[in-house]
Amino acid sequence: MHPQGPLSQKLFAVAREMIPGGVNSPVRAFRNVGGEPFFVRRAAGSRIEDIDGKSYIDFIGSWGPNILGHAPVAVTQVIHEVAKSGVSFGIPNPYEVEMARTIRDWVPSVEKVRMCNSGTEATMSAIRLARGFTGRDTIVKFDGCYHGHSDSLLVAAGSGALTHGKPDSAGVPQDFARHTRVLPYNDPEALADVFAQEGERIAAIIVESYPANAGLILPRPGFLDQLRTITRTHGALLIFDEVMTGFRLGKSGVQGIEGITPDLSCFGKVIGGGLPVGAFGGRADVMDLLAPEGPVYQAGTLSGNPLAMAAGLAQLRELEKTNGFARLEELGAHFEAGLRALLDAKGIPHRLHRAGSMFCLFFTDRNIVHVSDVMRQDLDRFRSFFWGCLEKGIYLAPSPYETGFLSLAHTEADLDETLGVMGDVIARF
Final residue belonging to a domain, choices 320, 336, 365: 320
Separation CA 9–CA 30 (nearest Å): 13
Q: Assess whether 269 carries a catalytic annotation.
A: yes
- Looking at residue 167, its pLDDT comes to 41
CB 25 within 8 A of CB 15: no
Catalytic residue among 241, 263, 373, 378: 241
pLDDT band for 150, please (50, 70, 90 cuts). confident
Per DSSP, the chain holds a count of helices (H) and strands (E) of 15, 14
**What's the whole-number mean pLDDT along residues 284-294?**
97
Question: How far apart are alpha carbons 42 and 49 in whole angstroms?
Answer: 5
Q: State the distance between the two ends of the chain, measured CA to CA, in whole angstroms.
A: 19
Q: Are residues 411 and 279 in the same domain?
A: no
Residue-level pLDDT at 163: 39
Catalytic annotation present for 392: no
Calculate the average pLDDT of the chain.
93
| Structural domain includes residue 405 | yes
How far apart CA 347 and CA 360 sit, in angstroms, is 18
For residue 46, the domain's CATH number is 3.90.1150.10
Are 92 and 225 in a shared domain? yes
DSSP category for residue 33: G
- Kindly state whether residues 394 and 253 are assigned to the same domain: no
The more confident residue out of 285 and 27 is 285
Domain match, 236 and 108 both: yes
Confidence of residue 3 (pLDDT cuts 50, 70, 90): low
The answer to whether residue 205 scores a pLDDT higher than 90 is: yes
> Do residue 405 and residue 275 come from a single domain?
no
Q: In this predicted structure, which of 13-27, 132-146, 152-166, 345-359 has the lowest mean pLDDT? A: 152-166
Confidence grade of residue 152 (pLDDT, cut at 50, 70, 90): low
> For residue range 55-83, what is the model confidence (pLDDT) as tens digits?
999 999 999 999 999 999 999 999 999 99
Smallest Cα–Cα separation from 385: which of 410, 348, 358? 348
Band the pLDDT of 151: cuts 50, 70, 90. Answer: low
Q: What's the confidence (pLDDT) of residue 154?
A: 64
CA 352 to chain CA mean position, Å:
18
378 with 352, same domain: the answer is yes
Q: What percent of the chain has pLDDT over 70?
A: 95
pLDDT of residue 158: 47
Q: What integer is the mean pLDDT of 142-159?
A: 73
Q: What is the pLDDT of residue 179?
A: 87
For 366-382, what is each residue's pLDDT tens digit? 999 999 999 999 999 99
For residue 76, what are the CA distances in angstroms to 51, 110, 305, 409?
Answer: 22, 28, 16, 15
Q: Is 1 a member of any domain?
A: no
- Predicted TM-score (pTM) of the model is 0.94
Is 77 among the domain residues? yes
- Same domain for 224 and 295? yes
Nearest to 162 by CA among 201, 202, 213, 120: 213
Which residue among 50, 112, 143, 146 is the active-site one? 146
Q: Assess whether 34 and 92 both reside in one domain.
A: no
Give the residue from 320, 335, 355 where a domain finishes: 320
Domain presence at residue 237: yes
Is there a single domain that holds both residue 249 and residue 217?
yes
**Annotated catalytic residue 54:** no
139 Cβ contact list (under 8 Å, min separation 6): 127, 130, 131, 152, 153, 179, 180, 181, 202, 203, 204, 205, 206
- CATH number reported for the structural domain that contains residue 281 in this entry: 3.40.640.10
Q: Is residue 200 part of a domain?
A: yes
Beta strands across the sheet bearing 40-44: 40-44, 47-50, 55-58, 394-395
Q: Please count the structural domains in the chain.
A: 2
DSSP state of 127: H
* Domain match, 153 and 232 both: yes
Domain edge (last residue) among 296, 320, 344: 320
Catalytic residue among 56, 269, 373, 378: 269
Per the structure, the complete domain to which residue 185 belongs is given by 73-320
Q: What is the pLDDT of residue 291?
A: 96
Comparing 26-30, 50-54, 331-335, 394-398, the range with the smallest average pLDDT is 26-30
Same domain for 56 and 97, yes or no, is: no
Q: Are residues 379 and 403 in the same domain?
A: yes
Residue 353, domain member (yes or no): yes
**pLDDT value at position 166?**
37
Using the predicted structure, report yes or no on whether residue 34 has a pLDDT greater than 90.
Answer: no
Task: Flag whether 102 is in a domain.
Answer: yes
Is 143 part of any domain? yes
pLDDT at 164: 37
